Each structure stands twice: as structure tokens, then as C-alpha cells.
Amino acid sequence: MRKEWLTGEATLFNPTGIKEAATFTCFHCNRVVHVPAKADPDKLGGWCRVCDKAICPQCVKTGECRPFEKELEKMEASYHARRSYGLG
């Protein structure tokens, strides 16, 4: 049964054949993580219990909840602040 957190599909068209895998996008860092069939769940990342979303193995190691949306907001706010100072 397809899981709802598997949001994407990846297809590799190789000379030897076609390989497909489901993917999810880490909610913390926006990285694409491939989930091949019969993959070891321990190597796929984890589930952030704060934001209730799937995260990649690198974000699991941080132990923090830093949703990508918050990082985007910080980035954009910083840019708007610099612009208001005339720093472009």
C-alpha cells in the first residue's frame, strides 16, 4: 500500500533496464530521499515528532525540528531587511 508520505516518483532509464523508486522530500532541508523497494527503514531517515513529517537521515542526526518553511522565511526576511537598508 502506498504511503502518503512518499510524495514523489523517480525513474532511472538505464541501458540495462528501467529502475523506479518512490521518493519523499525532507521537510527540514528539502532534500530528495529515494525509497527503493524493500529498503532498510533505518537508512531512510526518520519521522519528526514535532512537525509530524518525514525527514532525511542527515536531519535525523541533528535532533532538532527546523522545518524548511521556517528557513525560507528567515532567508526572505533577511533579504527584505537588507533591501530596506539599501544593501540589495
Partner 1 sequence: MALYSASNINATTPAQQALSTAFKTQLELSAATATLRRAFIYEFDVGADAVPNATDCAIVWDITAQTSIGTGTAGVVTTQDQADAASGTVATINHTSEPTTTANGSRWALAANQRASYRWVVNPGGPGELVVPATNVTGLGIRAKSTTYTGTAVVSAMFRE
Give the Cα separation of 74 and 10 in Å (integer): 30
| Shortest spacing between CB 9 and partner 1, in angstroms | 6
What does the binding site for partner 1 look like in residue numbers (CB under 8 A)?
7-15, 23-25, 29-32, 68, 72, 75-76, 79, 83, 88
Residue 8 or 36 having the CB closest to partner 1 = 8
Residue 1 or 22 having the CB closest to partner 1 = 22
| Cα dihedral across residues 33, 36, 37, 41: positive or negative | negative
Give the Cα separation of 47 and 72 in Å (integer): 21
